Amino acid sequence: MRLIFLTWVFVLIFTALYAASALPSSFEFHELTTADSVRIRAGHFCGDGAIAEESTDKVIFVLPGRVSRIERHEFLAKQFAKSGFGVWVLDFRGQGGSQRLVDNQQMVHVDNFNEYLHDVEALMHLARFAGQRKFLYGHSMGGQVALQVMQNHPSIFEAAVLEAPMLRIKTAPIPYFLSAPIAYVMANWLGRGKQYCLGRGDYDVVKESFEHNRNCRDRDLFDQHFFIPESHKELIPDGPSWGWLHAAFSATRNLLSALAHLRAVRTKVFIATASDDKVLDTSFDATVASTLSGAHCVYPGAWHCLLHDTLDTRRHYLAHLSDFLSHPDDFISAHRAVAPARTGWVLWLWSLRGSLRVQMLNLIKCALILKLIKRVFIDYSP
């Protein structure tokens, strides 16, 4: 018992020392408590080029994607500071330096995406921001949460940038229309909501290598922001749970099925789309941007993280970002979103012929996988 106790003490001390040494001096960290009593971490950018709070009336809240953390956003924070913003970055519950909701420190889990709203509201309602002009930046999952925040608070934010917002997840090789019901069954009927979803697990250095990643096209940026040494992998959240996946499907479905509610949002919005996004289905980006009467730009060949893409893509996107935040009305006029044209049923079905072929192949693959699972886990008897 004494040996076990001393082992746990050593692990806790090592984790605390490493976390302290890993935090860059560019951020001043604050611990907040949400309305549902979860401890979350927020970072105030105070590095080179930072703007003193008393010197600006503008503050921007950065909402990161799944498994991201405050420390990855130093470059972005510097860009906002150059434009005169005070910058705050949030660690959502279950990631970064915020409280975990399951025993496995690497598993990303929530039961409902509304929980993330509590995290944002705990930050944006701090008394220090009273009277300041508020702006919002969300990437991927953070973009999905930002849309919900704006829907609940339609007039609080002056402008918002959504980089590759999570409006629908790519689920290949399993067809999307099967993935959502599978996640529901696994999370609610089979009681596996707090277990890793299919194909996901703890951080694996090989699987998460540059050659296998779907987010970053720049090797140097990958090594700087994404690669985690084997010795520190236990500190980094990675795979989502079945519960998180079910919550994600529910959140995206609810948003897309009630787009009319977004028309009440008074915030000026810019949605940036990566044309070759490996993670998300971007076919709804233009529709959502149009519903918000906002701007929409597509970046050819770009992957999921525009700020970690090629140098040309980064320069193009940063120029748009600066223009939008400086003159949002002019930028929206120049890049106004246009919803996809509606077509007749015959033309619509004909346009889907390629997609239907792919879905049929995915159905066959899915049937083979289910047959294999049945043979291994059900028919086999030792």
pLDDT score, position 194: 94
Kindly state the average pLDDT of the residues 171-188: 90
- Cα 345 to its chain centre, rounded Å, is 34
Looking at 4-8, 123-127, 233-237, which range is the least confident one? Answer: 4-8
pLDDT score, position 33: 97
Confidence of residue 13 (pLDDT cuts 50, 70, 90): very low
Residue range 26-340 forms a domain whose CATH class is alpha beta
pLDDT score, position 14: 36
Q: Tell which wins on pLDDT, 97 or 119.
A: 119
Looking at 67-76, 151-160, 338-347, 360-369, which range is the least confident one? Answer: 338-347
Kindly state the average pLDDT of the residues 68-82: 91
pLDDT score, position 323: 97
pLDDT score, position 173: 84
Strands 133-139 and 86-91: unpaired
The chain-wide mean pLDDT, for the chain, equals 83
Distances (CA, A) of 293 to 134, 192, 341, 347: 19, 40, 16, 27
- List pLDDT tens digits, range 99-141: 999 998 889 999 999 999 999 999 999 999 999 999 999 999 9
pLDDT score, position 347: 43
Please, are residues 75 and 69 in contact by the beta-carbon 8 Å criterion?
no
Please, are residues 69 and 98 in contact by the beta-carbon 8 Å criterion?
no
Ranges 132-146, 226-240, 367-381, most confident: 132-146
Q: Give the chain's end-to-end CA distance (angstroms, integer).
A: 36
Query: What's the per-residue H, E or C state across 251-270?
Result: HHHHHHCCHHHHHHCCCEEE
What is the Cα–Cα distance from 351 to 6, expressed in whole angstroms?
Answer: 64
What is the Cα–Cα distance from 377 to 372, expressed in whole angstroms?
Answer: 8
- List pLDDT tens digits, range 40-68: 999 999 988 898 888 899 999 999 999 88
Please, are residues 168 and 281 in contact by the beta-carbon 8 Å criterion?
yes
Q: Tell which wins on pLDDT, 348 or 260.
A: 260
CA-nearest of 309, 277, 332 to 160 is: 332
Q: Does pLDDT of 235 surpass 80?
A: no
Amino acid letter, 309: D
- List pLDDT tens digits, range 282-334: 999 999 999 999 999 999 999 898 988 888 999 999 999 999 999 999 999 99
Looking at 19-23, 316-320, 342-346, which range is the least confident one? Answer: 19-23
Query: What's the per-residue H, E or C state across the chain?
Result: CHHHHHHHHHHHHHHHHHHHHHCCCCEEEEEEECCCCCEEEEEEECCCCCCCHHHCCEEEEEECCCCCCHHHHHHHHHHHHHCCCEEEEEECCCCCCCCCCCCCCCCECCCCCHHHHHHHHHHHCCHHHCCCEEEEEEECHHHHHHHHHHHHCCCCEEEEEEECCCCCECCCCCCHHHHHHHHHHHHHHCCCCCCECCCCCCCCCCCCCHHHCCCCCCHHHHHHHCCCCHHHHHHCCCCEEHHHHHHHHHHHHHHHCCHHHHHHCCCEEEEEEECCCCCECCCCHHHHHHHCCCEEEEECCCCCCHHHCCHHHHHHHHHHHHHHHHCHHHHHHHCECCCCCCCCHHHHHHHCHHHHHHHHHHHHHHHHHHHHHHHHHHHCCC
Q: Does pLDDT of 79 surpass 80?
A: yes
Q: Does pLDDT of 172 surpass 60?
A: yes
